[in-house]
Structure 1
Amino acid sequence: MQNNISHDSKLQIAGAGIIVTGGTTGIGRAIAAVLAKEGANVFLCGTNEEHLRETLQHIEDKQVRGKVKGKTTDLSTEDGIKELFKSADEHLGKLDVLVNNAALAHQDVYDGEYSDWERVIKTNLLSYIACTRYALDRMTPTGRGHIINIGSMSSDVREKGSSIYVATKSGIQGFTETLRKEVNEKGIKVSLVEPGAVMSNMQPDEVEQQQEALARMEMMEAEDIGDAILFALTRPMRCDVAEIKIKPHLQII
Structure 2
Amino acid sequence: MEAVKAIYEEKLIQPVKGKRILITGGTTGIGRAAAHLLARENDVLIVGRHQAELDDALRDFQQHDQSKGKLVGKVADLANPEEIDGLFAYADEALGQLDILVNNAGLAFNSVLEGKYEDWAYILNTNLLGYLACSRQAIDRMRTQGRGHIINIGSMSADVQEKDSSVYVATKSGIQGFSESLRKEVNELGIKVTLIEPGAVGTDMQPREGQAEKQEKGEMLKAEDIAVAIYYCLSTPLRCDVVEMQIRPHLQVI
- For the residue of structure 1 that corresponds to 2:242, the secondary structure is coil
Q: Which residue of 2 aligns with 1:192?
A: 195
Structure 2 equivalent of residue 96 of structure 1? 99
Q: Does 1:55 align with 2:48?
A: no
Q: Kindly provide the CA deviation profile for residues 202-231 of structure 1, in whole angstroms up to 9, marking residues without a partner as x.
A: 10x23x411111111100110100100100
| 1:72 alignment partner AA | V
CA–CA separation in structure 2 for the residues paired with 1:9 and 1:129: 31
> Match for residue 29 of structure 1?
32
- Asked if 1:166 is matched to 2:169, the reply is yes
Paired with 2:14 and 2:120, the residues of 1 have a C-alpha distance of 38
Q: How does the TM-score come out when normalised to structure 2?
A: 0.93
C-alpha distance in 1, partners of 2:75/2:125? 17
CA distance in 2 between counterparts of 1:188 and 1:11 reads: 17
Kindly report which structure 2 residues correspond to 1:67-216, keeping only aligned pairs within 5 A, or say none.
67-203=70-206, 205-206=207-208, 208-216=209-217
Which one-letter code corresponds to 1:247 in the other structure? R
Aligned to 1:4: none
1:9 and 1:237 in contact (8 A); partners too: no
| 1:233 counterpart residue number | 234
Q: Which moved more, 1:54-63 or 1:183-192?
A: 54-63
Shift of 1:78: 0.6
What per-residue deviation string (whole Å, max 9, x for no partner) do you get for residues 18-47 of structure 1? 00001001111011111112x011001000
Residue 233 of structure 1 aligns to a residue whose secondary structure is: helix
Query: Which stretch of structure 1 is more off in the superposition, 84-93 or 57-66?
Result: 57-66
Using the aligned pairs only, state the percent identity.
54
Q: Please report how far the alpha carbon of residue 11 of structure 1 lies from its aligned counterpart in structure 2 after TM superposition.
A: 6.5
Which runs of no fewer than 5 residues in structure 1 stay unpaired? Answer: 1-7
Distance 1:98 1:86 in 2: 14
In 1: Cα distance, 2:188 partner to 2:101 partner: 18
Query: 2:243 and 2:64 mapped to 1: Cα distance?
Result: 30
- The yes-or-no answer on 1:251 pairing with 2:241 is no
Q: Aligned pair in 2 of structure 1 residues 10, 16: CA closer, same or farther (>3 Å)?
A: farther
RCO higher in structure (CA 8 A, sep ≥6):
1
Determine the C-alpha separation between the residues in 1 that align with 2:84 and 2:164.
30
Q: Which amino acid aligns with 1:224?
A: D
Deviations 1:96-142 (A, max 9, x none): 00000000100001221111101000000001000000000000011
Letter in 2 for 1:238: R
What amino acid maps onto 1:101 in structure 2?
A: N
Secondary structure, counterpart of 2:144 in structure 1: helix
Q: What letter corresponds to residue 71 of structure 1 in structure 2?
A: K
**Structure 2 counterparts to residues 6-25 of structure 1, below 5 A:** 13-25=16-28
Aligned residue type for 2:59: Q
Q: Provide the C-alpha distance between the structure 2 equivalents of 1:60 and 1:231, rounded to a whole number of angstroms.
A: 24
| Partner amino acid, structure 1, of 2:73 | G
Deviation at 1:65, TM superposition (A): 2.5
Q: Alignment partner of 1:90: what SS?
A: helix
Extract unaligned runs of 5+ from structure 2: 1-10
Specify which of 39, 42, 46 is matched with residue 40 of structure 1. Answer: 42
Give the length in aligned residue pairs.
Answer: 243
List, as ranges, runs of 4+ consecutive aligned residues in structure 1 with deviation greater than 3 Å: 8-12
Q: 1:233: Cα distance to partner? A: 0.4
Write the distance in 1 (CA, Å) between the matches of 2:87 and 2:198.
25
Q: CA RMSD in A?
A: 1.3
Q: Structure 1, residues 34-79: CA drift from partner, whole Å, max 9, x if none?
A: 1112x01100100010000000111112223210001111100111
How far, CA to CA, are the matches of 2:14 and 2:141 in structure 1? 16
Contact kept, 8 Å, 1:10 with 1:237, in 2: the verdict is no
How many angstroms apart in 1 are the aligned matches of 2:75 and 2:165?
A: 27
CA distance in 1, matches of 2:216, 2:237: 35
